[in-house]
Amino acid sequence: MDIDSRNMKGVLRDFPQQVMDAIRMGEEVQIPRFNFNGIMFCGMGGSAIGGDVMTSLVRSVPVWVFRSYDIPEWVGKDTLAFVISYSGNTEETLAAYEKLKKTRANIICITSGGKLAEDNPPFVVKVPSGLQPRCAIGYLFFPALMILKRLDMVDFDKDELLSKLADMSRDLGDEDSDAFVLASKLLGRLPIIYAASPLEPVAKRWQTQFNENSKVLAHINIFSELNHNEIVGFGNPGIDNLVIILKDANYNPRIEKRIEITKQIIAPYTFGIKEVCAEGNSLLTRLFSLMYLGDWTSYHLAVQREVDPTPVERIAYLKNHLNAD
């Protein structure tokens, strides 16, 4: 029996091409030069993670991500709002969108169709359908990035990013790859993922990919917050976990020192500690190369656990029962 019945491996290998296509979509979309002093993202699950990434990239104005049926009362004419739902039918996002329409916010929608597209919003990026939302992060993130680039909010090295992802795509599917080896160490163990700014969105992505692809629980926390509470919770020698520390070359030196001391404290209470370093010159490349490694690791862990990485039957069950009334 083919464990990967819907070819998640092929989808992952094609990710660099998805990024190229999504960048082109963002370049082609026609938008006015909005005036705003804050950016918000409305979305859930795989449709929201791009907003988290943007909080690490945009520094000139505040960026918020809302995973909710509601929106804050301060939203208005000075807000640029991205409403992102891959299916176009996400219940929470549609509810937030209806409330946004009653404000004077500048709204841009990114979707493959569904009710969101049917509403004919004035500014919409229509992306290809047929993927799991978590596998469409390129389509859901890069059009927004290109729009913000045009509005002078971000800049990035496109060539470096695409080259790095292409190199990784050739290697990470193999059984001698870093992703496969890390997955082997995680087999039967709880992944505990630690990071610090600007890699917090990457830790969240790793967690949710382990949840949906590998079908395992995973835990995340952030330096230096975890130094004020979580390190006290490590207690039982031999506990079945593996700590993964996501590293960035531009971490604050005090964060680096905290990481080293934390490793000393928790080492007796974990199977092991694995440091994984982001690679690349630009922040965007470092963020996406590390997320891509996590995607592949979660895929390999699924296969090693003999579970199909694509279906998310419990989410489907929940949605069906929500709609039963």
Residues with a catalytic annotation lie at 212, 228, 319
Whether residue 161 contacts residue 280, with contact meaning beta carbons closer than 8 Å, is answered with yes
* DSSP letter (8 states) at residue 157: -
Q: Where are the beta strands (DSSP E) in 69-144?
A: 79-85, 106-111, 124-126
Query: What sign has the CA pseudo-torsion 94, 97, 98, 99?
Result: positive
What are the structure tokens assigned to 249, written together? Answer: 């070359």
CA distance 224 to 39: 26
At 109, which amino acid appears? C
Please write down the HEC assignment for all residues of 198-213. CCHHHHHHHHHHHHHH
Q: How far is CA 90 from CA 65, 97, 243, 271, in A?
A: 16, 10, 33, 39
Q: What is the largest CA-CA distance in the chain?
A: 59
